[in-house]
Amino acid sequence: MTVQFRKLTTIVEEVALEGGKEVSPAARIAIVAAVIANPWADQGFVEDLGPGIAEVASDLGALLAPRVAEALGAPIEAYGKAAIVGLGGEIEHGSALIHTLSFGNHFRNVASATTLLPAVEKRGPAGIVFDIPLKHITDATIRSHHQTIEVRISDAPHSNEIVVALAGAAQGRPQQRLAAFNPDEK
């Protein structure tokens, strides 16, 4: 099956100046979001989400992951994901699509990653603002790569839709200067 989407949005943010100081090379984050029909819309409470997951999740991951890498144009060092469910659905519908290896492993493979993908899930109206958390692709304790990117798709999600997005960064935060993680720190 090929994922059917109403809209596919790609955003590339490039920060060249942070704190009054040049960022060189510029810090880049790419986001690719697909606006899809909620596979469980208009069905009432669905006890078994498995068939919808099997039908959509893997193809959705396969669609988004390589597009993030292509838009970023550099190796991915930090990554994250999001599912924003329209008001006619349940938060669990978004979670069902993004919290499965059949979805996430596409991004892990593209990024040569080993850590869990940080995520945000929420329900809201079209145009809702959401933040995608990002962490390092192989070591979640690397503080420099803990960051978020704000996203908004002006006309999505409709009530019976889900926005599913992946984000990748080519580096940590611009001008990061915190000490390395120390588990003994108080």
What percent of the chain is modeled with pLDDT above 90?
A: 88
Contact assessment for residue 77 and residue 142, using Cβ atoms and an 8 Å cutoff: no
Helix 50-72 and helix 91-98, axial crossing angle in degrees, nearest 10: 60
Q: Which pTM does this prediction carry?
A: 0.94
Q: Given a cut of 60, is residue 1 above it in pLDDT?
A: no
Q: What are the respective helix, strand and coil percentages of the chain, to the nearest 5? A: 25, 35, 40
Assign 178 a pLDDT band (cuts: 50, 70, 90): confident
Contact assessment for residue 93 and residue 49, using Cβ atoms and an 8 Å cutoff: yes
CATH numbers and ranges of domains, the chain: 7-169 (3.30.1330.110)
Q: Given a cut of 80, is residue 180 above it in pLDDT?
A: no
Assign 185 a pLDDT band (cuts: 50, 70, 90): low
Q: Given a cut of 90, is residue 183 above it in pLDDT?
A: no
Strands (E), 38-160: 78-85, 119-123, 129-136, 147-152
pLDDT tens digits along 55-104: 999 999 999 999 999 999 999 999 999 999 999 999 999 999 999 999 99
